[in-house]
A and B are shown apart, each in its own frame.
Chain A
Amino acid sequence: MRPQSLDIAIATTGWLCLGMMLLIVLLRVRRLLRARRQVALMAPYRRDLLVVGAGEDHDGAGARRLARTHGPAAGEVMGSAVEMLGKVRGTPADELIHLLTIRGEVSEAARRLSSLLAVRRARAAHVLGLCQQDPAVPQLIHALGDSTVEVRAAAAHALGLIGNPVAAPPLLRAVGATDAGIPACVAAEALLAMGTGVAGALLDGLADPQPRTRDVAAHVSGVGAFTRCRPQLRALLRDDADLTVRQTCAAALGAVGGAEDAEVLGRHTRQGVPLSLRRVCVAALGDLGDPEALPALAMLLHDPDPWLAELAAAALLQIDPGAGSTLSDMAGTEATDPRRGRPVASALLVAGLRGAVTE
Chain B
Amino acid sequence: MSAAEVLVVVRGGLEWLLALGAAPVLVYFTVVNTFSLLIIVLAALELRMQQHRDSAEVASHVGELIPGVSVIVPAHNEQAGVVQAVKALLTLRYPRHEVVVVDDGSTDQTLQCLVDAFDLVPVPRAVPQDVPVEAVVRQVLVPRDGRTRLVVVSKDNSGKTEAVNTGINAATETLVAIIDADSVLEPDALLRVARPFSDDPIRMVASGGSVRAANGSRIVDGRVVRVQLSRRWLPRIQVVEYFRAFLLGRAGWSRLGCLILISGAFGLFRRDLVVEVGGLNNSSIGEDFELVLRLHRHLRDQGRDYRLGFVAEPVAWTEVPESLAVLRRQRRRWHRGLWETLSAYRGMLLRPRYGRVGFLALPYYWVFELFAPLLEALGLIMLAAGLALGVIDVEFALLFLLLAYGYAAFVTLCALAVEEWGFHRHERWRDLPLIMAASVLENIGYRQLTVWWRLEGWWASLRGKKQVWGVMTRTGFDGGATRAGRDRAAR
Chain A positions near chain B (C-beta within 8 angstroms):
2-3, 6, 9-10, 13-14, 16-17, 20-21, 23-25, 27-28, 31, 83, 86, 118-119, 122-123, 125-126, 148-151, 153-154, 157, 181, 183-186, 188-189, 192, 211-212, 215-216, 219, 223, 242-245, 248, 275-276, 305-307, 310, 334, 338-339, 341-343, 345-346, 349-350, 352-355
Contacts and interface: CB of A to CB of B under 8 A. Distances in A.
B347 interface: no
Interface residues of B, number: 58
B384 interface: no
Contacts of B413: 17, 20-21, 24
B53 A150 contact: yes
Contacts of B271: 276
A244 B57 contact: no
A307 B144 CA distance: 20
Contacts of A334: 124
A119 B63 contact: no
A40 B49 CA distance: 29
B201 A13 contact: no
B124 A27 contact: no
Contacts of B55: 119, 122-123
Instruction: Specify the main secondary structure of chain A where it touches its partner.
Output: helix
Interface in B44-67: 49, 52-53, 55-58, 61-66
B22 interface: no
Nearest to A248: B201
B262 interface: no
B199 A28 contact: no
Given A24-B417, A186-B58, A306-B125, A2 B395 contact: yes
Interface string B392-429: 00110011001000110110011011001100100000
A24 B52 contact: no
A185 B63 CA distance: 6
A28 B432 contact: yes
A17 B440 contact: yes
Contact of A350 (B142, B201, B275): B142
B4 interface: no
Contacts of B130: 275
A338 B128 CA distance: 13
B116 interface: no
B124 A349 contact: yes
Contacts of A307: 128, 172
Contacts, number: 175
B200 interface: yes
B121 interface: yes
Interface in B75-97: none
A184 B201 contact: yes
B198 A183 contact: yes
Contact of B416 (A10, A24, A150): A24
Nearest to A346: B125
Nearest to B172: A307
Contacts of B395: 2-3, 6
Contacts of A275: 130
14 contacts: A2-B398, A9-B399, A13-B402, A119-B52, A122-B53, A148-B52, A150-B58, A184-B202, A186-B63, A306-B125, A349-B124, A350-B146, A353-B121, A354-B146
B163 to A, nearest CB: 19
Contacts of A354: 146-147
Given A149-B49, A157-B61, A13 B200 contact: no
Contacts of B432: 24-25, 28
Given A21-B436, A185-B198, 13 more contacts: A3-B395, A6-B398, A10-B402, A13-B410, A16-B410, A119-B52, A126-B58, A150-B49, A153-B53, A184-B65, A185-B61, A307-B172, A353-B146
B288 to A, nearest CB: 23
B127 interface: yes
Contacts of A150: 49, 52-53, 56, 58
Contact of B128 (A189, A215, A305): A305
Contacts of B414: 20
Nearest to A121: B56
Contacts of B407: 13
- Of the candidates A13, A242, A350, the one having the most CB atoms from chain B within 10 angstroms of its own CB is A13
Contacts of A83: 57
B123 interface: yes
B15 interface: no
A147 B15 CA distance: 56
A183 B200 contact: yes
